[in-house]
Amino acid sequence: MDLKDSTSEGSMGSLQPSSIQIFANTSTLHGIRHVFVYGPVTIRRLLWTLAFVGSLGLLLVESSDRVAFYFSYQHVTKVDEVVANSLVFPAVTICNLNEFRFSRLTTNDLYHAGELLALLDVNLQIPNPHLADPAVLAILQEKANFKQYKPKVFNMQEFLARVGHDLKDMMLYCKFKGQECNHEDFKTAFLKPTPMVEDSHALYHFTRQLNPTE
Segments making up each domain of the chain, as ranges: 17-71, 86-99+165-214, 102-154
Q: Distances in Å between the alpha carbon of 209 and those of 44, 74, 86, 174, 212?
A: 88, 47, 14, 15, 9
Question: What average pLDDT does the structure give for the chain?
Answer: 79
Residue 129 DSSP label: G
Contact 170, 96 (CB under 8 A): yes
Instruction: Please state the rounded mean pLDDT for residues 192-199.
Output: 47
Instruction: Please state the rounded mean pLDDT for residues 137-147.
Output: 90
Supply the pLDDT for residue 3. Answer: 46
Residue 19, classed as helix, strand or coil, is: helix
Query: What pLDDT digit, counting tens, does each position of 20-61 carry?
Result: 777 777 777 777 777 777 777 888 888 888 988 898 899 999
φ, ψ of residue 124 in degrees (nearest 5): 60, 35
**Per residue in 18-30, is it b (16+ CB within 10 Å) or e — as a string?**
eeeeeebeeeeee
CATH 1.10.3590.10: does it fit domain 102-154?
A: yes
Question: Looking at the DSSP assignment, which residues form a beta bridge with residue 186?
Answer: 206
Which residues neighbour 105 within 8 Å (Cβ) at sequence distance 6 or greater?
117, 119, 143, 163
Q: Say yes or no to pLDDT of 72 above 80.
A: yes
**Per residue in 55-73, is it b (16+ CB within 10 Å) or e — as a string?**
eeeeeeeeeeeeeeeeeee
pLDDT grade, residue 200 (50/70/90)? low
Q: Say yes or no to pLDDT of 117 above 70.
A: yes
Contact 137, 120 (CB under 8 A): no
Instruction: Please state the rounded mean pLDDT for residues 97-101.
Output: 80
Q: Indicate the range of 114-128, 145-159, 198-212 predicted with least confidence.
A: 198-212
Half-sphere exposure of 179 (CA within 13 A, CB side): 8
